[in-house]
Amino acid sequence: MRQQGLRGCLRRRFRVLTTDSRHPWPIAPNRLASRSVPSGPNQVWVTDITYVPTAEGWLYLAAVMDLWSRRIVGWATSDSLQTPLVSAALRQALSRRRPPPGLLHHSDRGCQYASQDYRRLLAAHQIEASMSRAGNCYDNVAMESFWSRLKTEWLHPAPLATRTETRTALFEWIEAFYNRQRLHSSPSYQSPVDFETQLN
């Protein structure tokens, strides 16, 4: 790498708090831990929120992943961490995939996912809720891995100037690169889209 003038991407150590589990809403049990590995699409979705710095301030990103193929099936951005952010990501996923009843939806214990509005959205589509154990990010390791790749491979050393520019760049990275081009070890070293196309 030194001879080619290359250097590895460094992970940032600074972390913004995106999960507030101190709330009065019900906590779903961790059903993912006892569930077998999904054998097809729309059996298990995992979801989470992260942050992306811009020159205008933080841009929050919520994403929904199909655990079978590792494809991001829904995502949304906002300058707010409120429930509409995660609801928008889930609604996009539902519109794109139209899952059958019984889908397992796994998240952390954040107030956004435990809120009454979000639980109503899950119930309306007969989706079963599952939540990680308190303070245990390893219960949602697939999403944590996705965030790590996003920030290591895509995030610029300096933030983009505006939230609008950042949204456009995120669209290109998620939809054009991550879902369609980036190879993954879990889906047989294929892109998520190729993996789904081959096995459907």
How wide is the angle at C-alpha 113 spanned by C-alphas 111 and 119, nearest 5°? 115
Domain count, the chain: 1
- Name the least confident of 25-29, 69-73, 82-86: 25-29
Q: Is residue 171 part of a domain?
A: yes
Please say if the pLDDT value at position 14 is more than 50.
no
Q: Is residue 23 part of a domain?
A: no
Torsional sign, CA 37, 96, 62, 152 = positive
Q: Is residue 58 part of a domain?
A: yes
Query: Could you tell me the two tokens for 1?
Result: 């790498």
How far apart are the C-alpha atoms of 131 and 29, rounded to whole Å? 6
Q: Is residue 51 part of a domain?
A: yes
pTM to 2 decimal places: 0.86
Indicate the SS3 state at residue 82. Answer: coil
Average pLDDT over residues 126-142: 83
Q: Is residue 188 part of a domain?
A: no
Amino acid 187: pLDDT: 78
Q: Is residue 86 part of a domain?
A: yes
Q: Is residue 7 part of a domain?
A: no
Please say if the pLDDT value at position 144 is more than 90.
yes
| Residue 77 bridge partners (DSSP) | 61
Question: Which residue range is the domain that position 136 belongs to?
Answer: 44-182
Q: Is residue 91 part of a domain?
A: yes
Q: What are the tens digits of pLDDT across the range 80-115?
A: 999 999 999 999 999 999 999 999 999 999 999 999
Q: Name the E strands within 82-191.
A: 104-107, 128-131
Which long-range contacts link 141-147 to residues 24+ away (Cβ below 8 Å)? Answer: 142/46, 142/65, 142/67, 142/70, 142/186, 143/46, 143/47, 143/48, 143/63, 143/65, 144/48, 146/63, 146/65, 146/70, 146/72, 146/178, 147/48, 147/50
| CATH code, 132 | 3.30.420.10
